[in-house]
């Protein structure tokens, strides 16, 4: 099992990022990848989810995400 870093989440959800497409594809793949027991092989630590909300909603990034939308994104990850 491995853990996802905050930067990967931010790149995947920041449309202005040069890494957006690559990280979106990467997350899509690993969040749907299961081991031989049907378990996810990836974890997203709570600290990373909190950092993601903090960063993705900042006004100093190209297109900040609304807080409510960021919370929805996090809830989607928690539902996996």
- 8-40 pLDDT per residue, tens: 999 999 988 999 999 999 999 999 888 888 888
Total number of domains constituting the chain: 1
pTM of structure: 0.88
At 44 the pLDDT is 95
What is the average pLDDT value for the chain, to the nearest integer?
A: 93
Domain coverage including residue 38: 2-79
Contacts from 11-18 at CB under 8 Å and sequence distance 24+? 13/52, 13/56, 13/65, 13/73, 14/56, 14/61, 14/62, 14/63, 14/65, 15/62, 15/63, 16/61, 16/62, 16/63, 17/62
């Amino acid at each position: 099992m491995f853990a996802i870093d905050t930067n990967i989440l931010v790149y995947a959800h920041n449309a202005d990022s040069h890494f957006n497409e690559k990280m979106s594809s990467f997350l899509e793949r690993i969040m749907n990848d299961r081991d031989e027991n049907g378990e996810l092989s990836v974890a997203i630590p709570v600290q990373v989810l909190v950092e993601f909300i903090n960063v993705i909603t900042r006004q100093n990034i190209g297109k900040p995400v609304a807080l409510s939308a960021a919370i929805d994104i996090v809830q989607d990850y928690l539902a996996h």
